[in-house]
Amino acid sequence: ALEIRTRKRAPMDWAMTQYALGNLYGKRIHGEPRDNQEKALACYTAALEIRTRKRAPMDWAMTQYALGNLYGKRIHGEPRDNQEKALAFYTAALEIRTRERAPMDWAMTQYALGALYNKLSFGDPEDNREQMLICFNNTLNLLHERMQTLDPEGSKAMWREYKRYFHSVIRTLLIHRLYKDALYWIEALKTARMLVDIDLSSIPAPEGEAGEKAADYWEVCRQIRTVRAEIEYHQKAGSPDMSPDQGDLKSARQMDPSYIASRQKELERLVMNLKELDRRKKCLLKELKKLSPDYAARIQPEIKRFEDLTALITGPQKAAVSFFVNGVSIHALTVYMENSGELNIDYRQYEINQKFKDSFREYYTALDRLDDKKSDLFEINERLINLLSLTRTLFDSLFNLFKKKEIKQIYLSPHDILEAIPLHAPAVWKEDNPTIKLLNFSYLPSLSLGVQRSRVTHPDKRGHNHAIFFSPDDQKLSAGEKEFEKLKKIYAQENISLLPREEKNATLENWAEDLKTIEPENIFISCHGRTDDNGFYLRLHDGLLHHKELISSLEIKDCHVVASACQTGTSLAWRQKKDDYYALDHVFMLMGARSCISSFYSIPDKQTSEITLKMHKNIHDSDKFAPFTAFNTGLHDYLKQKYMVPVQIHKSKGPIGSGRSRSEQKETVKLPSDSPIYWAFLKFSGLFD
């Protein structure tokens, strides 16, 4: 290319090619790394002879950034000298790459600068750490803020590209034992991921003045996206065309001072426009928080600080555990209250070994094969017992911490693979001594969302109740149908308001209209659920309803949701390996539910009905709104009534294992009713009473 793109004939094209060569040498595998770095340095230096700050400021800044990266890992020369030069190049790049003019370039340069401060071999260590924190916070704040105004597809694409920066920063903060800062960004990570596939503008807006402000807010967000796209276009407008026949004309225009000046003037106009739109967006959100605080919190959840967790951890007997998984390392941050009333934090790190990964995979493989009748409940129960035993062993020190601190109620905020494991079950079940005592566990998609829900005052009084049931002809819910009839009788005994929708009336349209009319205290859902690579579904009379349809149609206001459907509490993170979707129970909480009961996996119909009926009776008998107590007592009551459950198993021709062959012959065995397969699937998410 340089035979045609000469410095004399096409200087800007020549400089761009020198820059590209520098990038290539910097990543080159062949040859000596030291020699490749020096060649890259020569190419970047040559590019800067044309890419001057005055002539091509953005290209100049880009090359300064590349030189900073190169000197940060340069082999030749003294390490301190190289680091000082890297620091100078990054600082120079930031003179052009400002937050307003080039926000993403600014964020990436801030991140690189933070990484450099993290390994500086000179200067005061405390000052370097402080600068590192400032740079990392700048980067992640910008990324988090930007995702909140993108459309769902743009937000998803951005999340996939930049989530590694969250992981890297959190890992670095944990190494430095900056646990409170790490917890903040773990919360941001979970909040961003929770929103990545949700069109927040589709959440039903309030009526009246608040609704008008909401419409204005989303219009401003749309304008912000448009202006940002224009800014990015103008930033790239000076890049040379790749076609050789236009190289001379393009380069000549880019060298023209009047063209450069007009480009800069238009860019400055767009930047000022963006500043004004950002100001209007903040003002509109502030007004929305006054007019409709619950709606404002749903469309822009705040990341809570460490001290805000007192809203969840109200005494020494409560704690919250936020998990963060990075590779094979599990990081557990437990926040608890000392007797003095001061919040404290405990940090522990665990490693996922191959045995644990194999057990996890074998369990969910057996579950997937259950629908095809290639596995049975006996096999699945055995695999679940193995998984729970390994989980108990892995987190033994954490459970001992709860015991030592006499903690009775624990909020769990899982991450990654842990979202598909019933973490509460190992704490209450042991193979040699099952379910002697139940600890109180509740799941939260993020601790911040829990704090947000806790600040909504719930009236301590009996209210309306809503129930929806659908059992399709091709997949009958026999036990669920009996449960639904008993549920209606329970609430009819004392004329407590219950609006049931069943069979042909169990449609999304009816459901949405009912919620607007009665604003129920409890919502009971009994139907088939499903999860796949595209999201979460509930099956009603009008078909499979994706979680996006539920969000855009249903108004859920500070109520308790019981979702008696399969896989409503299972995250797809462990299947997709893209970290894009979250569980349906968390979607209900984001929509406004105070708490939700859901399931980790496909559930046995009969035992589900037994447990949920006991829970319904507890809700009915209580003189106050206490869904967790009703749930936990119902589970306790079920576990006390021990009996044997007959199950059919496939007779094996070979050893037990994922690869064993099976005949068509079956035999009947009996499982104890307190086997984990019959109760560990139940998941309570939300606030304790």
Task: Indicate whether 292 pLDDT > 70.
Answer: yes
Neighbours of 122 (CB within 10 A): 11
Task: Indicate whether 246 pLDDT > 60.
Answer: no
Lowest-pLDDT choice from 148-162, 219-233, 405-419? 148-162
Lowest-pLDDT choice from 289-303, 351-365, 604-618, 631-645? 604-618
Q: Find the helix packing angle between 584-591 and 447-454, rounded to 10°.
A: 40
Q: Which two tokens stand for residue 606?
A: 């009969």
Neighbours of 668 (CB within 10 A): 9
For position 249, what pLDDT does the model report?
A: 42
Q: Find the helix packing angle between 257-291 and 247-255, rounded to 10°.
A: 80
For 465, residues 6+ apart whose C-beta sits below 8 A from its C-beta are 491, 496, 497, 498, 499, 520, 521, 522, 523, 524
**6 confidence band (pLDDT: 50, 70, 90):** low
Count of positions (residues) in the chain: 689
For position 116, what pLDDT does the model report?
A: 96
For position 15, what pLDDT does the model report?
A: 85
For position 216, what pLDDT does the model report?
A: 93
**666 confidence band (pLDDT: 50, 70, 90):** confident
> How confident is the model over 546-585, as pLDDT tens digits?
888 888 888 888 888 988 777 676 655 555 555 554 577 8
Compute the distance between CA of residue 558 and CA of residue 453 in angstroms, rounded to an integer.
8
Q: What is the mean pLDDT of the segment spanning 497-516?
A: 90
For 688, residues 6+ apart whose C-beta sits below 8 A from its C-beta are 318, 409, 440, 442, 628
Strand partners for 468: 501, 525
- Concatenating the DSSP letter of every residue in 566-609 gives TTTT--SHHHHSS-----HHHHHHHHT-SEEEEESS---HHHHH
**325 confidence band (pLDDT: 50, 70, 90):** very high
Residue with more model confidence, 588 or 460: 588
Task: Indicate whether 261 pLDDT > 60.
Answer: yes
Q: What is the mean pLDDT of the segment spanning 295-309?
A: 84
- Concatenating the DSSP letter of every residue in 235-249 gives HHTTSPPS-GGGHHH
In percent, the amount of the chain with pLDDT more than 90 equals 33
**243 confidence band (pLDDT: 50, 70, 90):** very low
Token pair 């009915």: residue: 620
**235 confidence band (pLDDT: 50, 70, 90):** low
Q: What is the mean pLDDT of the segment spanning 69-91?
A: 94
In percent, the amount of the chain with pLDDT more than 70 equals 84
Task: Indicate whether 4 pLDDT > 70.
Answer: no
Q: What is the mean pLDDT of the segment spanning 152-156?
A: 74
Give the mean pLDDT of the chain. 83
**Cβ distance 680 to 422 under 8 Å?**
yes
For position 95, what pLDDT does the model report?
A: 94
For position 248, what pLDDT does the model report?
A: 44
For position 635, what pLDDT does the model report?
A: 85
The whole-angstrom distance between residue 430's C-alpha and the CA centroid of its chain comes to 31
Residue with more model confidence, 117 or 191: 117
Task: Indicate whether 188 pLDDT > 70.
Answer: yes
For position 62, what pLDDT does the model report?
A: 93
Q: What is the mean pLDDT of the segment spanning 624-635?
A: 83
For position 267, what pLDDT does the model report?
A: 78
Task: Indicate whether 154 pLDDT > 80.
Answer: no
Q: What is the mean pLDDT of the segment spanning 499-525?
A: 90
**Cβ distance 112 to 68 under 8 Å?**
yes
For position 139, what pLDDT does the model report?
A: 95
For position 318, what pLDDT does the model report?
A: 94
Q: Which of 3, 9, 26 is nearest to 240 (CA)?
A: 9
Strands (E), 279-390: 318-326, 329-337, 343-351
For position 113, what pLDDT does the model report?
A: 97
- Concatenating the DSSP letter of every residue in 452-482 gives HHHTSPPPSS---EEEEE---TTS--HHHHH
**665 confidence band (pLDDT: 50, 70, 90):** low
For 62, residues 6+ apart whose C-beta sits below 8 A from its C-beta are 19, 93, 105
Q: What is the mean pLDDT of the segment spanning 628-640?
A: 86
Task: Indicate whether 242 pLDDT > 70.
Answer: no
Could you tell me what percentage of the chain is helix, strand and coil, using 3-state DSSP and rounding each to the nearest 5?
55, 15, 30
Task: Indicate whether 661 pLDDT > 70.
Answer: no
From residue 90, alpha-carbon distances to 93, 140, 539 in Å are: 5, 18, 54
For position 44, what pLDDT does the model report?
A: 92
At residue 347, what are phi and psi to the nearest 5 degrees?
Answer: -120, 135
Strands (E), 403-527: 409-413, 440-443, 465-469, 498-502, 522-526
Which of 112-126, 185-199, 482-496 tops mean pLDDT?
Answer: 112-126
Task: Indicate whether 313 pLDDT > 90.
Answer: yes
Reported for 494-499, long-range contacts at CB under 8 A and 24+ positions apart, including other chains, are 494/620, 496/462, 496/465, 496/620, 497/463, 497/464, 497/465, 498/464, 498/465, 498/466, 498/467, 499/464, 499/465, 499/466, 499/467
Task: Indicate whether 520 pLDDT > 60.
Answer: yes
> How confident is the model over 332-372, as pLDDT tens digits?
999 999 999 999 999 999 999 999 999 998 888 887 776 65
For position 536, what pLDDT does the model report?
A: 79
